[in-house]
Every structure is written in C-alpha cells, then in structure tokens.
C-alpha cells in the first residue's frame, strides 16, 4: 500500500549549521504536509504544499515539493535550539483524505 | 475558537481494567482521527471518522480497541482489558474534509498501564 517514508530518522546538528530532511512517497500525492512536534508536545501543522515543484519558506525553513509530487524536503538553515523536535511529513492516501504520516525525523541541536 | 481537547490528560490504570479516552474536536470539523504514539516513536494510525460514513478501523491493533463518535462531534476511544503494551500517548486530531486537510491535534492522553 501507499507509504510515506522519511529520512534520516535522527539528525544531530551543530547550532548554526544547516540540514535537510527528506520525505518520499511510493505514489503521487495531491499534497504534502509538514508537522513539528516539540519534546513532550503534540504535532503542530507547519505548512502544506500542493503544486508540483512548489517551494515555500518560513523564516529559516524551506519546504519543497518535488516535480513528480512524490517527494518533499525540509531544509533548515542556521539551526537554533528552538528547532529541536520531530518533524513529520504526511500525505493523503489515494481516494481518501486520510493522511499517511512518515516516521519522522528527530532533530537534536548541539550548542 | 477552542482547539481540540482531550481528557483525561493522564491516565494510570491497572492491567486488565477498561479505559475510556475522550476527544472533543474543533467545531465544524467533520473528520476525526485517533493515533497512538509510543515513547520516541512516530504516529500510529488507529481509526478515522468522516462525517456519517462508516469509520475506517483498519489501524486498531486488536478487538480490545473500539471507538465511537456521537453526533458527529465528540469521540471516545475505549480500550478493554488493558495490557502493559497499551501504554502510550493517544492523540486525537480533527480536520475539515477538503483537499487541503491539515490536521489539528489535541494535547493527547498519556496512558500508563501498570
């Protein structure tokens, strides 16, 4: 069945450095969503991408949707301690509005 | 307006007891989801309600788990004869049924089975 895969599972980053986390789907997605879950918290919606090749920025975060609408990436520049948490991507399963969540990338930051 | 609320926030129970977890979605959201998250793990889909349609129960791990959604609003997740492996955070989320269906999560219920 359709699955959304994320890599890497863990990302240890030096404060100030950049990193990228990737999301891949076995099938074309109508849209891709990203969520952030802080330690001890619940997932919070960050952004949604709908168009092929779409790029959106939120301050130091850049989200991209692939041309084939099967992959997405989240790039964070100049990582800060506030970026700590788990980032999930999610896409709707075909013919339904139920979201399939990736396993998440857990980010830790070394000061 | 208010977000998704869940109760209780924490529940400690003994093995073999039944528990009920409650979710109040955002008013007007027709879609409601239950997920389970074990410590340090991702989101495990449990069940999905959409309007008056039959729920998608494909994620329920065993017949000890069941859920209801009354009047298209409040939902209750029931776990019968709890086991220690049921210990986790149970998250509820709601969304508007449309193409751009971002989910709004509640704070979760942390269940501990002793």
pLDDT, mean of residues B22-26: 96
Length of chain B in residues, anyone?
114
pLDDT at residue B99 is higher than 70? no
Given an 8 Å threshold on Cβ–Cβ distance, is B105 in contact with A43?
yes
> What's the pLDDT at A92?
84
Report yes or no: B103 at the A interface, CB cutoff 8 Å: yes
The predicted pLDDT at position A74 comes to 98
For position B42, what pLDDT does the model report?
84
Confidence of residue B1 (pLDDT cuts 50, 70, 90): low
pLDDT of residue B6: 98
Q: What is the per-residue burial (b if ≥16 Cβ within 10 Å, else e) of A2-14?
A: eebebeeeebebe
- The pLDDT value given to residue B100: 57
pLDDT at A75: 98
Shortest distance between the Cα of B18 and any Cα of chain A, in A, equals: 25
In this model, does residue B5 exceed pLDDT 80?
yes
Closest CA to B110 of B42, B11, B41: B11
- Regions in chain A scoring below 50 on pLDDT: none
Query: Nearest-CA distance from B82 to chain A in Å?
Result: 23
pLDDT of residue A104: 94
How confident is the model over B35-72, as pLDDT tens digits? 999 987 889 999 999 888 889 999 999 999 999 998 87
Structure confidence at residue A1 (pLDDT): 53
* pLDDT at site A96: 65
The confidence score (pLDDT) of residue A2 equals 56
CA-CA distance, A7 to B12, in Å (whole number)?
A: 34
Sign of CA dihedral B101, B102, B107, B109: positive
What integer pLDDT is reported at residue B101 of this predicted model?
Answer: 75
Q: What is the pLDDT of residue A95?
A: 60
Give me the residues of A, 60-89, that contact B with CB < 8 A.
88
A48:B100 CB<8 A: yes
């Amino acid at each position: 069945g359709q699955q959304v895969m994320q890599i890497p599972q863990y990302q240890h980053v030096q404060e100030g450095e950049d990193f990228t986390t990737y999301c891949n789907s076995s099938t074309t997605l109508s849209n891709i969503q990203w969520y952030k879950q802080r330690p001890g918290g619940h997932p919070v919606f960050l952004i949604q991408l709908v168009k092929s090749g779409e790029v959106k920025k939120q301050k130091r975060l850049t989200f991209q949707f692939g041309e084939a609408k099967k992959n997405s990436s989240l790039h964070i520049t100049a990582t800060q301690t506030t970026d700590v948490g788990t980032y999930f991507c999610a896409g709707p399963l075909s013919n339904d509005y139920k979201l399939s969540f990736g396993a998440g990338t857990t980010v830790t930051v070394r000061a | 307006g208010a977000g998704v609320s869940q109760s209780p926030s924490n529940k400690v129970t003994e093995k073999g007891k039944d528990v009920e977890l409650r979710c109040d979605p955002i008013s007007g959201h027709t879609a409601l989801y239950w997920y389970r998250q074990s410590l340090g793990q991702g989101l495990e889909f449990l069940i999905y309600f959409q309007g008056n349609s039959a729920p998608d129960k494909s994620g329920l791990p065993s017949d000890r788990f069941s859920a209801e959604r009354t009047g298209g609003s409040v939902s209750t997740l029931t776990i019968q004869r709890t086991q220690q492996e049921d210990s986790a955070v149970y998250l509820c989320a709601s969304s508007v049924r449309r193409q751009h269906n971002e989910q709004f999560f509640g704070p979760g219920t942390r269940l501990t089975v002793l």
